[in-house]
């Protein structure tokens, strides 16, 4: 395993992070025993960054991860979130954030979180995020319940706008650095270097589009983006490789991103993902993928409040 420093923090995180949302049955049912074994397998494989949230499985993922980490908490860097509690259940108020951390600590069976993040800030009003949620997580950091704090979301321009005007330890962007999108490079990468915050990349498989697994029915990507999957699978088969391996290798090769978070809930997937560290993308494949992807490149979807999704291209 390889590790990178997470911004100005003293934490060195594995370049592949364990995304715990599948522990909450987000994609399909995950047997609890199998899920717990996958966490232990990941630690044995050198993965030390684990990312979860109350939203994933409506607290199920946090609960299962907490069980898995009994006796192993000191071996990992633990990140969770607050502010999003259901598909349409958002609350970025000061009091709810202060309550949320205690709920997460109880489920995760720990007395501190390494990284406590505001979850999908584009769904909250800018005023409440800045004037209530941010002071709340800053207070939580001061209390010692969280060592570091960050923000997460989908629209990269909005994440950059908020991060530019606050002091934060990390920014987590999802679905914006992968084989289908590179918008993280436009503002967030240079801003992270300027301000020193750590940059996290999630969903390098774009919620299964960049894999040979079935795309979930709830996926929000435009139809033409989802429809690209078979062509990408076939071109990878021509080179004798798996699309998911190419996608993960491409993502972790970005030196400006501390860790790339991949969803996992069984040991075989953990080992397959870690094996990508010894995988090289065949010469010429990325060029062919670029041609296939060109018509839908950076054609991401909308989430959150309209005023938080204004592009500055």
Query: Minimal CA–CA distance to 47: which of 25, 10, 27, 72?
Result: 72
Count other Cβ atoms within 10 Å, centred on residue 186: 16
Distance, in Å, from the CA atom of 137 to the CA atom of 132, rounded to the nearest integer, reads 9
Give catalytic residue positions.
Answer: 56
Instruction: Give every CB contact of residue 262 below 8 A, 6+ residues apart in sequence.
Output: 16, 17, 18, 19, 204, 205, 248, 273
Query: Minimal CA–CA distance to 245: which of 277, 289, 219?
Result: 277
Judge whether 148 and 9 are in contact, CB under 8 Å: yes
* Phi, psi (rounded to 5 degrees) for 151: -130, 155
Judge whether 13 and 6 are in contact, CB under 8 Å: yes
């Amino acid at each position: 395993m390889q590790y990178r420093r997470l911004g100005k923090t003293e934490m060195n995180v594995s370049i592949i992070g364990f995304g715990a949302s599948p522990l909450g049955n987000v994609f399909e049912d995950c047997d609890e025993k199998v899920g717990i074994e996958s966490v232990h397998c990941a630690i044995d494989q050198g993965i030390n960054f684990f990312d979860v949230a109350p939203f994933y499985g409506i607290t199920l993922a946090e609960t299962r991860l907490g069980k898995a980490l009994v006796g192993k908490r000191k071996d990992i860097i633990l990140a969770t979130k607050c502010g999003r509690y259901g598909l349409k259940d958002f609350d970025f108020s000061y009091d709810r954030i202060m309550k949320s951390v205690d709920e997460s600590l109880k489920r995760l069976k720990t007395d501190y979180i390494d990284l406590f993040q505001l979850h999908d800030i584009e769904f909250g009003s800018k005023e409440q995020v800045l004037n209530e949620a941010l002071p709340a997580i800053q207070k939580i950091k001061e209390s010692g319940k969280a060592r570091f704090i960050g923000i997460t979301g989908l629209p990269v321009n909005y994440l950059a706008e908020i991060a530019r005007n606050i002091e934060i330890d990390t920014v987590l962007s999802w679905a914006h650095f992968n084989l289908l999108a590179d918008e993280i490079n436009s503002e967030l990468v240079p801003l992270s270097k300027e301000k020193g915050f750590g940059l996290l990349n999630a969903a390098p498989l774009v919620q299964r589009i960049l894999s040979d697994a079935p795309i979930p029915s709830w996926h929000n990507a435009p139809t033409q983006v989802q429809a690209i999957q078979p062509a990408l699978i076939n071109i990878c088969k021509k080179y004798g490789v798996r699309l998911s391996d190419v996608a993960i290798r491409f993502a972790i090769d970005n030196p400006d991103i501390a860790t790339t978070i991949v969803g996992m809930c069984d040991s075989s997937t953990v080992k397959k993902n870690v094996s990508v560290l010894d995988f090289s993308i065949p010469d010429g494949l990325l060029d062919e993928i670029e041609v296939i992807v060109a018509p839908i490149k950076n054609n991401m979807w909308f989430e959150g409040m309209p005023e938080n999704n204004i592009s500055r291209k």
